[in-house]
Copies of this chain bind each other. A is one copy, B any other.
């Protein structure tokens, strides 16, 4: 009889650190979560180590028998050095994660950002199964991507590749959170869509949306579905800009499949149809679109943990080039 093997997936968020113990078969055993200690009494790495100890102890598993630990976190981070760069809510610039955990637990440990985790989750368990060239884009508060080329994760020289939210779409466009102008994220993210609507309302645009109240993209999507012209225009505009950026990425990567995730993509056809129209309009040749698989993400809130599992489990093929 083969001995059951185990993996831990960890998702480091702005508020919660979540850890899930899996069998390598991907069967989930137990999930725990703890609030990120922003008081800084304990290093994140120590918090993760403690969580892993607890998970193992409660399930009668020796920590030393873990086959891998995958950690997903919001970026920016350095996958190669295994550290967080300016993590949200923490007053540090560089927080080492991988080395302290590896040293303490003696288990292979890997760190990637949440978009890379998302594309791995799709590749291993979702719509990207068996696909060698896979492009995942999330349209959420921000816009990010995870890219698999030839079965390997695109990380770049310093592990800071795949930042498609910061591709310039309109050179004279609005300022991006990063301080540059006209980036896709500044034009078509959830934040950007809400801001565009707010500006139009302030200019007196007619809409069924409430005045003088925080407008969310969910409210905009709902209003659009009920026929609100302003909300429809906002999502159509964002969809077209995303489609324009995706056309560029088709020319650059010629992927087999594009998977769209993130809360804003839940708006559905009102966003996705103009997106597809723009992709077609801006694409050099039908070859890029013929047989292209375009699908919605399989995972929602769990994507970080699932991707961390995929990373912890596979380890070698996706990120080999970073650990040669």
Interface centre among A150, A167, A178, A180, by most chain B C-beta atoms within 10 angstroms, is A150
Using A161-B254, A180-B283, A252-B161 as known contacts, say yes or no to A244 and B150 having CB atoms under 8 A apart: no
Using A180-B283, A282-B168, A285-B178 as known contacts, say yes or no to A154 and B244 having CB atoms under 8 A apart: no
Give every chain B residue within 8 A of A154 (Cβ-Cβ): 149, 253
Question: Quick one: closest B residue to A131, CB to CB?
Answer: B157
Question: Quick one: closest B residue to A164, CB to CB?
Answer: B252
Residue pair A288, B160 in contact (C-beta under 8 Å): yes
Give every chain B residue within 8 A of A149 (Cβ-Cβ): 149, 154
Assembled-state Cα–Cα distance A25/B6 (Å): 49
Min Cβ gap A52→B in Å is: 30
Residue pair B133, A254 in contact (C-beta under 8 Å): no
Residue pair B251, A167 in contact (C-beta under 8 Å): yes
Assembled-state Cα–Cα distance A178/B285 (Å): 8
A266 close to chain B: CB less than 8 A: no
CB within 8 Å of B: which A156-175 residues = 156-164, 166-171
Residue pair A251, B163 in contact (C-beta under 8 Å): yes
A32 close to chain B: CB less than 8 A: no
A152 close to chain B: CB less than 8 A: yes
Question: Quick one: closest B residue to A151, CB to CB?
Answer: B321
Using A149-B154, A150-B152, A321-B150 as known contacts, say yes or no to A252 and B159 having CB atoms under 8 A apart: no
Min Cβ gap A88→B in Å is: 16
Question: Quick one: closest B residue to A321, CB to CB?
Answer: B150
Give every chain B residue within 8 A of A178 (Cβ-Cβ): 284-285
Give every chain B residue within 8 A of A133 (Cβ-Cβ): 156-157
Assembled-state Cα–Cα distance A244/B167 (Å): 9
Residue pair A254, B156 in contact (C-beta under 8 Å): yes
Min Cβ gap A168→B in Å is: 6
Residue pair A251, B321 in contact (C-beta under 8 Å): no
Using A150-B321, A168-B248, A247-B168 as known contacts, say yes or no to A287 and B158 having CB atoms under 8 A apart: yes
